[in-house]
Amino acid sequence: MDQDIMIVSSNHIDGRPIKEYLGIVAGSIVKSRNAGSDIFASLKSLVGGELVGYSRLLQRARDDAYGRMIEDAKSKGANAIIAFRFQTSTITKGASEVVAYGTAVKI
């Protein structure tokens, strides 16, 4: 977690009154695997089990989106983000978008 900014999934921070609402902040990234990885994943899905390559890819995508959201909040002068969420969607076969978003505030 970034030490300069507090991030919570709730709509408030216990014991910390919100002084100013600065608006929605977001960070997003679209990631895809290479064709060779997709072929291996297709074969793996026949026998079952975790698709480790995809799990790692999505974790990196979440980390990148999270970092971009923090930078958006800092650029607005926020020192906290409330109502934090992740959202994922498929853009095209083999490519997913990960969005991190919340409400930037000053506490």
Per-residue pLDDT tens over the stretch 33-85: 654 555 555 554 555 666 677 778 889 999 999 999 999 999 999 999 999 99
**In the chain, what are the domain boundaries?**
6-31+60-106
> Is residue 82 a contact partner of residue 6, using CB atoms and an 8 Å limit?
no
Residue % of the chain over a pLDDT of 90? 61
Sign of CA dihedral 81, 17, 10, 55: positive
CATH number of 6-31+60-106: 3.30.110.70
More confident residue, 92 or 33: 92
pLDDT for residue 92:
79
Please state, rounded to an integer, the average pLDDT across all residues of the chain.
85
